[in-house]
Amino acid sequence: MQTADTILMGNVLVLDRPGSTAEAIAIADGKILQTGSRDAMAALRGPSTWVHDFKTSTLIPGFNDSHAHSDSLGLKTIRSTLEDARSIADVQQRIREIASGKKPGEWIVTMPIGEPPFYWNADSFLSDGRLPTRHDLDEAAPDNPVCIASPSGYWGEPPCFTVLNSLALKLNGIDRATKPKVDGVEILHDHAGEPTGIIVERNYTRMAEPDLLPAVPRFTPEDRVEGLRRSLAMYHDKGTTSVYEGHGCAPDVISAFRQLHETGELTLRSGLVVSPAWVGTSEAEYAMRHWLPWARGRGLGDDMLRISGVFVGYGGNPQFKDLLKKDIGDLGWGGGLASVNSPSDFEELCMLAGKYNLRLHTLASDKLHEVVPILERVAQHYPIGQRRWVVEHISKASPRDIASLKAMGVAVTLIPAHYLWKVGHTFANLSDEQLDLLSPARELAELGVPVSAATDAVPNDPLFCMWVMLARQDRRSGKIMGPRGVLDSDTALRMLTVNGSYLTFEEDRKGPLLPGYYADIAVLSGNPLSASPEGLLDIRCQATMVGGRWVHGDPA
Ligand SMILES: [Zn+2]
């Protein structure tokens, strides 16, 4: 009989079926050897077996964050932070310190003003009751161009703000006559009509940079590798062992994952999707036919890094399209290239993806009622369910659309914290019945649609996401957003752990703590199945294991 390398004891949630628990897990060669009682596991003990008793802690399958943005979290630590600044004087002091380490003319680009991870209400956050202006920044760093960068609108909620000093305005060619090319971006002016240095962004997609700020340094490929390196630790710290990046990844981002995998540093099982840089449907067909055959089906890769399928966006502001293509090297905070497609182009791209057997991922947001009929037409020609096409970011949904997703067999990933908690108040006009189907985890689960839940990285905490699915509370009013949609703990925890393996065709080897499955485990300070919804917020991840190796909180 094979003996175990490691035996872990504690309160084990197997998550293969409701109520399945154990007292211990035996692990060999990175996989689960057996799960059962302490006595039964003791029989698998050999002379070199390492045994650890976690006592009252709970061991669960590692979290699989199915829409994680794992590349961007660490990037937020690359630029200097202003998070401790509470006044304009604090901001100036911080900029002065940064400038003292720079040569004249060197760029200073900082993180936004406000409190991470949301950076809400940056314009009233400082004790002065306003943002700094170009003149405030000039005082701190007259000889360096300064840019206080805007967060992504998806982190918190627009409006978001960029602040530039005079030199930075000049280098970007912004003067009193400059006008933004796209809606939703505004250059603020003083009484004399001169730019104050503040640029307001009201779009979720970050347009101020491609529109107005060509001179502000972008993240380099090296920044992206270092950002990803830091991200890994930040995800393991939350008990996350796998991610799926269904929003698509641009070549630079895929390359960063590849590099860390090659050096053995990639400890997060990563499923990536290609975010293509094609212009128009004829270029798309060329790419699908001649360049992307390797991304068909399960794609290429191994148990740590796998790349398959394509991301194709639906809708979006057509004004953005040309601008984004011009600044294609700039991915900003997102891992994918922003993709703007008219409904007819989207349908054509779907048909092409069907024809060339590429698994398609798209973001529905509040347009599920427009996306579903298109997918229905594609499904008449191609087996999109069998190929596991994915619909992400669903906000509003109707019973008809949900039934259609089930009939087509497509998979769904949800980001409950964004729609229910963060921007729940924007759905105030929905009826009670419609609210029950906002981010419709329960409805989808009851119908048997393959559905998993994700953090969208804001914050990257699966237990917070689980709390949202159980509480469904709008952050502003505390209102319960559709009581009928409230999920039970068991279903919610599955959506955040075992369900995600369907997205990478790994449900036979990743997920529940069963023999032969990867030894991917999160050790939690409390039991998320018996905790109250609020109690989930007090649970901490004490240790994380990927493939039998400790990647966080090594108890040895
Ligand atoms: Zn996202």
In the reported structure, the alpha carbon of residue 247 is separated from the centroid of ligand 1 by a whole-number distance in angstroms of 6
Number of H helices, E strands in the chain: 18, 21
Sort strands 195-201 and 160-164 into parallel, antiparallel or unpaired. Answer: antiparallel
What is the DSSP code string of 455-507? -TTTT--HHHHHHHHHH-B-TTT--BS-GGGPPPHHHHHHHHTTGGGGGGT-T
In the reported structure, the alpha carbon of residue 460 is separated from the centroid of ligand 1 by a whole-number distance in angstroms of 12
In the reported structure, the alpha carbon of residue 270 is separated from the centroid of ligand 1 by a whole-number distance in angstroms of 15
In the reported structure, the alpha carbon of residue 118 is separated from the centroid of ligand 1 by a whole-number distance in angstroms of 14
- The structural domains of the chain, ordered by start, are 1-62+511-556 (2.30.40.10), 79-212 (no CATH), 221-510 (3.20.20.140)
For every one of its 556 residues, what pLDDT tens digit does the chain have, with 9 covering 90 and above? 799 999 999 999 999 999 999 999 999 999 999 999 999 999 999 999 999 999 999 999 999 999 999 999 999 999 999 999 999 999 999 999 999 999 999 999 999 999 999 999 999 999 999 999 999 999 999 999 999 999 999 998 999 999 999 999 999 999 999 999 999 999 999 999 999 999 999 999 889 999 999 999 999 999 999 999 999 999 999 999 999 999 999 988 999 999 999 999 999 999 999 998 888 899 999 999 999 999 999 999 999 999 999 999 999 888 887 787 777 666 778 788 878 899 999 999 999 999 999 999 999 999 999 999 999 999 999 999 999 999 999 999 999 999 999 999 999 999 999 999 999 999 989 999 999 999 999 999 999 999 999 999 989 999 999 999 999 999 999 999 999 999 999 999 999 999 999 999 999 999 999 999 999 999 999 999 999 999 999 999 999 999 999 999 999 8
In the reported structure, the alpha carbon of residue 312 is separated from the centroid of ligand 1 by a whole-number distance in angstroms of 13
Residue 439's contacts (CB-CB under 8 Å, 6 or more residues apart) are: 394, 395, 414, 415, 416, 419, 420, 485
Planar angle of CA 244, 461, 425, nearest 5 degrees: 100
pTM, full prediction = 0.96
In the reported structure, the alpha carbon of residue 327 is separated from the centroid of ligand 1 by a whole-number distance in angstroms of 20
Q: For position 457, what pLDDT does the model report?
A: 93
In the reported structure, the alpha carbon of residue 540 is separated from the centroid of ligand 1 by a whole-number distance in angstroms of 24
In the reported structure, the alpha carbon of residue 188 is separated from the centroid of ligand 1 by a whole-number distance in angstroms of 29
Q: For position 328, what pLDDT does the model report?
A: 65
Phi first, then psi: give them for residue 469, nearest 5 degrees: -70, -30
In the reported structure, the alpha carbon of residue 24 is separated from the centroid of ligand 1 by a whole-number distance in angstroms of 36
